[in-house]
Each structure stands twice: as C-alpha cells, then as structure tokens.
C-alpha cells in the first residue's frame, strides 16, 4: 500500500467546512480597511533574505531562529516571508509609491515562521496588515487604532479584547535608556535566565517582555523607559492618548510593551484577549519612521499593524460567533426524460437573474429521496424539483427545505419567489 503524503507539520488545510468562516472574516477586514481609504497591495511570498535581516534585525528571534531560508539555483539566499511590513516597504521603494504622496495600503496572505506549532501559533499562518506612509502625526496613529477597534465591533468581539499602548520613543531616546537598562540588568544578572542573558547585550529591551516570573519581579525596580523619552516623543504619545480618549476607546499604558521587531519607534500597541490562553495577542503594530530609509528609500514616516487571522478565527469559534451564509442556496432536483437539460437551463437563468445566487445541480442520477438527502447534506435553503410534467408545463416545484412547505409555480416566476426565501 502506498504511504499517504501528509501536510507539513504546522501548515494546515482550510477545509470546506471552515472556509465560510474564513471568508466572513476576510470580507469583514476588507470592508473595514477600505472604509478608511486603504487600497490593496500584493507582494511575493518569497523575498531576498537580507531584506528581513536588515529590516527586522539580525539579533531578533525571527531572523535568528524562525525564518524558512534557502539558496536558489543562482546561489541567492531567499526567505519565505515571516511578516508583511518589510516586503510592503520594499515594494513601495522599488515602485516609487511613496516619493511624492502618502500611501494607505493593506495586504492579506500567508506568512511563514519555523516555530513550535501549538493552538494559535502555526508555521504557515495568515496575516492582514495595514501600512500608512508619509504621515508623522499622532492623529494617524490614533486613527489606525480606531480602525482596528471598528473591526472588532464588526466581528462582534469588541468586548473580548483590550488595547495595550506604549511609546518606545526615538532611536536616541532608546539609546539612553538602553545604557541604563543594561547597567541594571548586569547588577541583577543572577536572576536572568539564559535567554535574557543572551538578549542583555544584543536586544536588551526584549528582556522587558520575558515570561519568566522571577525576571518580571526583578524588573519592577528597573529604569522606566518613559523617564528617558524626549519632550517630542512625550507630546506625540500624549496626542495619541488624547485622541483615543476623545473617541471613547479604552486602553492601558503598558511600559513593558516593546514589540519584538527592531524597526519600531514611538507608538506601539497590541490588542490582547483572555480567550485564547497563551497566544493572547490578536493584533499588534506601531510606528516605524526609520525603516523606509533603512531599506534604501527616502526618509518617510510610517505606521502600521498586522493581525493574525488564525487567532481571530479561533476567537470566533470560541465565542460561537460562527454564523455564516449557507454554501448552497438552491439545489436542483431532476428526474425523468429531458429534465436534466431543462434543469441546467433553469439554473443558468437563475444565476443570471439573481446576483450571487448559488445553485447546485444534482448529478449522478438517483431517485427523489436520494436527491433531497443530498440537498440537506449540502445545506441548501431551497430545492427546485423538475419532473417530466413540470418540464412539459413550464413549471417547477419550489420546496422550502427549512420551513418544509412547497408550491408549484411558473418557471418565469421562480426568481421572484426565491428572492422572498433567500
């Protein structure tokens, strides 16, 4: 017996029973981000490796441990994208999108990280991201957060997420803070675990979000980043907070929130939930004013976010917010000489007359009982029945599969009847 080929660990199929919920989520995302004037951009899933090492940071976990990297036949080092921002910035620079005007862009698609698979964390996962270029005020930061808040309302999960907010200041602010933080960590090195010791001199701010309880207790006495912010950074963050207050969006300032990628500055934020256990972050973002220049473009302010779609699907399932439109509206049942041709013609006519109508025609023969059983299995709302008499009389039997009623009507009237039921 030939051995079955399995999917790669951590890379999952989205089956027909799941795809309707995914489509509901994706459509909600597209609706909300488009309502803020964002337009779609699509980037390759494979990029040059040095794009990510330069953008994300050589000493981040993503670059050091998690990327799927390989050499192509020309000897170039390529990487499956682990996130979307770097590729979006590269595309904007390469295609001169941000030389003369602001850009508000969104994207959606698969990302790849070689992590230990667990609930809510996969090796292939899907993100939707929004990136805004050319605007440096606190107002755009606030509106970006408002955009995410509106999406939670659209999905019905707004009462199950909370916003955490911080400012990590400018590069200069963080340089001053880094010196003080490293000195503090060196004084308490006995408390640090191996991971924190490794990060202490390469990426010390990441020690702040350590999950080690002893480290967290020690950090209660650590220098505060907010004490090292310049007046300009403080005013920017105050502006964001005031706009969120005016919009009625609740938040908590979390001074340990630093984000895991090197390119962030000033505003950083996360939306978190208690409904997913350890994988509680469903959306994260912030400002990255230096990244465009770092990747070879002109100095351009930028801010963005990304949300994990798998985690949002898990939330919708956990909260039982999974009502979706049935996959099939109408099931065409035929039996008798010449009825299949008539059924196919009627189905095409209905698809043409009713935009978006989903009609499934029964193939493979079988009596009425078998065909109705199939109609129930696919979740159809209505069955249209064509026998030899109906074909001869130009009629059709319309059966409401949810209500159990049925009636015979002229084929010319069936579109109007369906509009009442679906």
Q: Specify binding-site residues.
A: 83-85, 113, 127, 131, 259, 263-264
Binding site residues for L-histidine, as ranges? 83-85, 113, 127, 131, 259, 263-264
**Residue 156: CB partners within 8 Å, gap ≥ 6?**
319, 321
CA nearest neighbour of 128 among 251, 38, 21, 37: 38
Structure tokens at 231: 């007046």
**CA–CA dist 61, 133 (Å, integer):** 26
Taking a C-beta distance cutoff of 8 angstroms, is the pair 70, 6 a contact? no
> How big is the chain, counted in residues?
422
Taking a C-beta distance cutoff of 8 angstroms, is the pair 408, 399 a contact? no
Taking a C-beta distance cutoff of 8 angstroms, is the pair 228, 258 a contact? no
Task: Compute the radius of gyration of the chain from its Cα atoms.
Answer: 27
* Residue 112 phi, psi dihedral angles, 5° rounding: -140, 125
CA 149 to chain centroid, in Å, comes to: 14
Taking a C-beta distance cutoff of 8 angstroms, is the pair 383, 328 a contact? no
């Amino acid at each position: 017996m030939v051995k079955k080929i399995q999917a790669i660990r951590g890379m999952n199929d989205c089956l027909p029973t799941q795809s309707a919920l995914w489509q509901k989520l994706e459509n909600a995302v597209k609706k909300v981000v488009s309502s803020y004037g964002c337009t779609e951009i699509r980037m390759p899933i494979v990029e040059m490796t040095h794009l990510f090492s330069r953008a994300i940071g050589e000493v981040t976990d993503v670059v050091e441990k998690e990327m799927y990297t390989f050499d192509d036949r020309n000897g170039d080092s390529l990487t499956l994208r682990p996130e979307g921002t770097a590729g979006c910035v590269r595309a904007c620079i390469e295609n001169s999108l941000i030389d003369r005007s602001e850009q508000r862009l969104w994207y959606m698609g698969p990302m790849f990280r070689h992590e230990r698979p667990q609930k809510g964390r996969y090796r292939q996962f899907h993100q939707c991201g929004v990136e805004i270029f050319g605007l440096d005020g606190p107002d755009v930061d606030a509106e970006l957060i408002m955009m995410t808040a509106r999406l939670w309302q659209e999905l019905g999960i707004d009462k199950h997420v909370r916003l955490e907010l911080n400012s990590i200041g400018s590069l200069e602010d963080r340089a001053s803070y880094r010196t003080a933080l490293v000195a503090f960590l060196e004084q308490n090195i006995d408390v640090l675990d191996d991971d924190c010791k490794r990060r202490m001199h390469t990426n010390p701010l990441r020690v702040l979000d350590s999950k080690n309880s002893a480290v967290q207790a020690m950090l209660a006495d650590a220098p505060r980043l907010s004490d090292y912010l310049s007046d300009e950074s403080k005013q920017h963050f105050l502006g964001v907070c005031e706009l969120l207050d005016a919009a009625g969006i609740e938040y908590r300032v979390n001074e340990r929130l630093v984000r895991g990628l090197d390119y962030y500055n000033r505003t950083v934020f996360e939306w978190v939930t208690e409904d997913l256990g350890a994988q509680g972050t469903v959306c994260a973002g912030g400002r990255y004013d230096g990244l465009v220049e770092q990747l070879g473009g002109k100095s351009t302010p930028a801010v963005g976010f990304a949300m994990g779609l798998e985690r949002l699907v898990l939330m919708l399932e956990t909260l039982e917010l999974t009502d979706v439109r049935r996959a099939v509206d109408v099931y065409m049942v035929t039996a008798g000489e010449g009825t299949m041709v008539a059924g196919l013609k009627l189905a095409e006519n209905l698809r043409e007359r009713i935009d978006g109508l989903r009609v499934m025609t029964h193939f493979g023969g079988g009596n009425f009982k078998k065909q109705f059983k199939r109609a129930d299995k696919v979740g159809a709302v209505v069955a249209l029945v064509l026998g030899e008499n109906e074909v001869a009389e130009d009629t059709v039997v319309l059966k409401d599969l949810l209500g159990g009623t049925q009636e015979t009507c002229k084929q010319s009237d069936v579109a109007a009847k369906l509009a009442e039921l679906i």
